[in-house]
Structure 1
């Protein structure tokens, strides 16, 4: 396992963060807020562009969009063929936003002399903790290209997605092909909508308590839902029908656990094959209880591997190539990285945040329009919390040595070889 390390703060905003999404290969969106109360804490989104300066990851703020009195608790992004939509949970409704991409002159962007159509100034500034970079390095980054990517967020339709006595949409996810959307809330009903029209197609009724998480399989043939009734239900996505499978948490110590999050993940080098991961916490809340990370075979519902973690868990993310799984904790704000197929922990970051981790997102491993973001690491994981911070954690390549160590070893080997040859008279 790699040593405990935290690469550090990328950005800090002025409102609590609840959701983190990848907008493009190099842009991430964070959202949250203080709610409708008159506290002066904003509600909305902020978009950051990530880059690697050869030493570390840095983030630059691209724009900010405020949502008035509506806090953003959950969101999902669909990005295909230069069309980006954002579905955000705001109280009992799902608010759809269209995200327009524009290429803007880099010099104008740095000066902040243009405005978004929603009236908010778009800013671009380095917000990493290493703000004292040299002027030469800053100028080098600024002149890499004459055009930079910017965004406009425009509100579109809004639909009510939860109908409990005190309604609240708790989760939303868009299918990978962008054709349907699933929502869940306090009333325990999974609703399937057309997308982006957001017309209700059918309801899936199998849970008796509020929903906690939803996720589509990579091929969009399955949908998994988990709720506070302790069930994980796997559904077919083609029609209204009973669940294909019903799973309950299987702890190794006999303690009753409830699922908290669920995510599908591709199996590396196996086209069309996928796994399912869940995290679960003990039902009893007394004391420092151990969380549970589990790996399932989603067709048969067979539990393949299970790992106990030192404390309760709050966040889960699977990398897009299926190689790594990240988890975040409830009490210490720690972050861990595991190898997906074996659930072997390879990185532990203790106290990455001052409070519980609310979201995790991998820096993309697959190429795309902008290419995969490169760094001197095997993996990079982003995390957010209600402490308002966006933090990055990197996993170094195994067995790598600093260049100066390698040079010293080569010199030492040459010296020993020369001494041996002199001793033997060769």
Structure 2
């Protein structure tokens, strides 16, 4: 099937490699990464951007920067219940919990607020954007010509920190997810154990010891009844949270008995209660000559019901919050593809969206958010597209790729067509004497 025309592009560039992305609100995206502990001068931490649309293009303006010292941010998860916003971030072998607070601030044009911490003064918390950065990012909201403007500032305040990986060699948290109902947090690391925590207290509930190698991905289903896990041992499990045991293992017959490894997974979001629980999984061949797959599984039957192949290794996966679309990022070409979720029909292909492999994808939310006990209402980004996905990479770039609405006839043209049809029918009837 031919893809619809792509309207996408670079919206921001940061000064460190990016490894993780989350939607913090319906219009704020949070990205994390860094250069690690080595003294290269490359920072570690988060940046938060506010996204808007000017009628032609998406625009992203940096509103908050929070540095994490020597700890690179490799993974994170957010939770917002319209009363409080939380951020859980993997920093080496620990998971750091942040409370996200908001306030309205007035900034000089070009100033970017950084998160407050004990070692800096309010004056130091404002970082001046470089002139060449402003020229480089033509889509930034810093094009605001007012000398001063008000901005919703999001502040990350460190809270609890817990150790989540206990590997004997190099312990490291690989993934963290928070359940949709906000009751649980799951972490996985190099030791191959998936740990289930009570959230936000972060007290340990159960350890799922199902894998022999490090965990690659975790996800909760919409009802928070199941948790899914994949690891470098090539196995995929569905676990029952209430019973704290394995519910099902997902296996399939690979082409020509080739070896495949699961890379990413996300439960499908659906409002149809008659459907069995379904999950998207990326499967990569260990030999590059074999294709990789985006698969849609029926969990109850334990079978693949839809699948589409790729000529290269896959690295990232995301599902839109309305359940209509699924996006995939590639390893070598840095390309992005968007599919209709129920049919896996490709509707957008962005070749070489990044110069290096895609490390994260997130769809822009379609629902509004409330912050700080409903004191601030955050509306979803209104645009001229059907859906939009944000992609990040270690090339330091943040891009947005959108699916334009399908073209339809203008209302006035439909009316004219109806009038002409009626007139034509009347003339024809008069001509034949009816």
Q: What TM-score, normalized to structure 2?
A: 0.85
Task: Tell me how many residue pairs correspond in the alignment.
Answer: 412
With 270-279 and 304-313 compared, the bigger mean Cα shift is at 270-279
> After superposition, what is the alpha-carbon deviation per residue over 1:14-47, rounded to whole angstroms, capped at 9, x for unaligned?
0000000000001000000000001010000000
Distance apart, 1:82 and its partner CA? 3.1
Q: 1:276 is matched with which residue?
A: 279
Distance apart, 1:85 and its partner CA? 1.1
Aligned pairs (5 A) from 1:78-89: 78-89=79-90
1:131 is aligned, of 119, 130, 138, to 138
Q: Secondary structure at the match of 2:250?
A: strand
Instruction: Report whether the alignment pairs 1:19 with 2:26.
Output: no
Distance apart, 1:193 and its partner CA? 0.9
1:379 is aligned, of 380, 384, 387, to 387
Distance apart, 1:302 and its partner CA? 2.2
CA RMSD across the alignment? 3.4
CA separation in 1, counterparts of 2:113 and 2:317? 38
**Judging changes above 3 Å, is the alpha-carbon distance between structure 1 residues 115 and 229 closer, same or farther for their aligned structure 2 residues?**
closer
CA separation in 1, counterparts of 2:366 and 2:278? 18
With 337-346 and 154-163 compared, the bigger mean Cα shift is at 154-163
CA separation in 2, counterparts of 1:342 and 1:133? 36
Q: 1:421 is matched with which residue?
A: none
Aligned pairs (5 A) from 1:149-298: 149-164=152-167, 165-241=169-245, 243-252=246-255, 254-268=257-271, 270=273, 274-285=277-288, 287=289, 289-298=290-299
With 190-199 and 114-123 compared, the bigger mean Cα shift is at 114-123
Question: Which has the bigger relative contact order, CA under 8 A and spacing at least 6?
Answer: 2
CA separation in 2, counterparts of 1:100 and 1:29? 14
Distance apart, 1:279 and its partner CA? 0.4
**Judging changes above 3 Å, is the alpha-carbon distance between structure 1 residues 234 and 390 closer, same or farther for their aligned structure 2 residues?**
same
Q: 1:43 is matched with which residue?
A: 44
**Judging changes above 3 Å, is the alpha-carbon distance between structure 1 residues 69 and 249 closer, same or farther for their aligned structure 2 residues?**
farther
Distance apart, 1:96 and its partner CA? 1.1
Q: Secondary structure at the match of 2:383?
A: coil
**Judging changes above 3 Å, is the alpha-carbon distance between structure 1 residues 284 and 367 closer, same or farther for their aligned structure 2 residues?**
same
Contact 2:109 2:144 in 1 (8 A): no
> After superposition, what is the alpha-carbon deviation per residue over 1:152-182, rounded to whole angstroms, capped at 9, x for unaligned?
1111121111111221110010111111110
Contact 2:315 2:330 in 1 (8 A): yes
Q: 2:401 is matched with which residue?
A: 393
CA separation in 2, counterparts of 1:274 and 1:35? 39
Aligned pairs (5 A) from 1:312-327: 312-327=313-328
Distance apart, 1:122 and its partner CA? 4.2
Contact 1:46 1:63 in 2 (8 A): yes
**Judging changes above 3 Å, is the alpha-carbon distance between structure 1 residues 292 and 272 closer, same or farther for their aligned structure 2 residues?**
closer
> After superposition, what is the alpha-carbon deviation per residue over 1:168-218, rounded to whole angstroms, capped at 9, x for unaligned?
110010111111110001111110111112111110111111100000000
Distance apart, 1:291 and its partner CA? 1.4
Contact 2:385 2:405 in 1 (8 A): yes
Q: Secondary structure at the match of 2:144?
A: helix
CA separation in 2, counterparts of 1:131 and 1:111? 13
**Judging changes above 3 Å, is the alpha-carbon distance between structure 1 residues 239 and 290 closer, same or farther for their aligned structure 2 residues?**
same
Q: 1:101 is matched with which residue?
A: 102
Distance apart, 1:303 and its partner CA? 1.4
With 179-188 and 146-155 compared, the bigger mean Cα shift is at 146-155
CA separation in 2, counterparts of 1:320 and 1:389? 23
CA separation in 1, counterparts of 2:80 and 2:171? 29
Q: What TM-score, normalized to structure 1?
A: 0.87
Q: Secondary structure at the match of 1:166?
A: coil
Q: 1:341 is matched with which residue?
A: 342
Gaps of 5+ in 2: 371-377, 424-430
Contact 1:8 1:129 in 2 (8 A): no
CA separation in 2, counterparts of 1:179 and 1:335? 33
Q: 1:74 is matched with which residue?
A: 75
> After superposition, what is the alpha-carbon deviation per residue over 1:297-320, rounded to whole angstroms, capped at 9, x for unaligned?
123322111111121100000111
Contact 1:315 1:328 in 2 (8 A): yes
CA separation in 2, counterparts of 1:83 and 1:109? 28
